[in-house]
Amino acid sequence: MREYDRRVVAVRGLVFRDRVGRPLRRSNFRRRVWLPSLVRAGLLGQVANTGPHRYRAGWPDREGVEWSAEFTTEREAVAFVAAKAVGGMRFHDLRHAYATWLVTDGVPINLVQRVMGHEQASTTLNRYTHTPDDYAARVLAAFDSSAASLLPPARETPPESTLDGDGQDL
């Protein structure tokens, strides 16, 4: 087999390919796959069907001003919003979210480190994990459950008839 044929055969199994079957470059993946996916998910602007062959696209600019435009196809509207909207999540942000979810759900840090491919656990903890919004409630819940297990079981109060006349049980 010639070298070119080997490359074509190896590339056919790729999920994200260009029009001739080659792997998408990073910049093309972001422009053609990632940003349009964020638009369709409503995480980067929005596209709404307003009638037959009418789609209204809305997106924020750098100053937070909302812009909108009309298009005849959803594909055009999504591509336009993906090109014009500012912000949005980067693909690499998924690594940070994944590490944070694992640590938050109690997976030991040495296992998270191994899954993430980091040489040191400090890289995983300091750079890839982030504090969840409900961290204070989680800390309090951890203290409540562990403190409750340290306390002796509560004794029942004896009925009033077993107490002597002055109200003391000694």
What pLDDT score does 1 carry? 41
Q: Which residue has the higher pLDDT, 120 or 92?
A: 120
Task: Out of 76-80, 142-146, 162-166, pick the least confident.
Answer: 162-166
Cα separation, 68 vs 77, in Å, equals 10
What pLDDT score does 145 carry? 67
For the entire predicted model, the pTM comes to 0.54
Per-residue pLDDT of 136-151, as tens digits, reads 787 777 777 666 666 6
Query: Please, what is the angle between helix 93-104 and helix 109-116, to 10°?
Result: 160
List, as one string, the DSSP characters of 30-89: IIIIIHHHHHHTTSSSEEEEEETTEEEEEEE-TT--EEEEEESSHHHHHHHHHHH-----
Taking 90 as the threshold, does the pLDDT of residue 19 lie above it? no
Taking 70 as the threshold, does the pLDDT of residue 154 lie above it? no
Phi, psi angle pair for 59, to nearest 5°: -155, 150
Cα separation, 167 vs 79, in Å, equals 81
Question: Which percentage of the chain shows pLDDT scores above 90?
Answer: 25
Q: What is the identity of the amino acid at 124? A: T
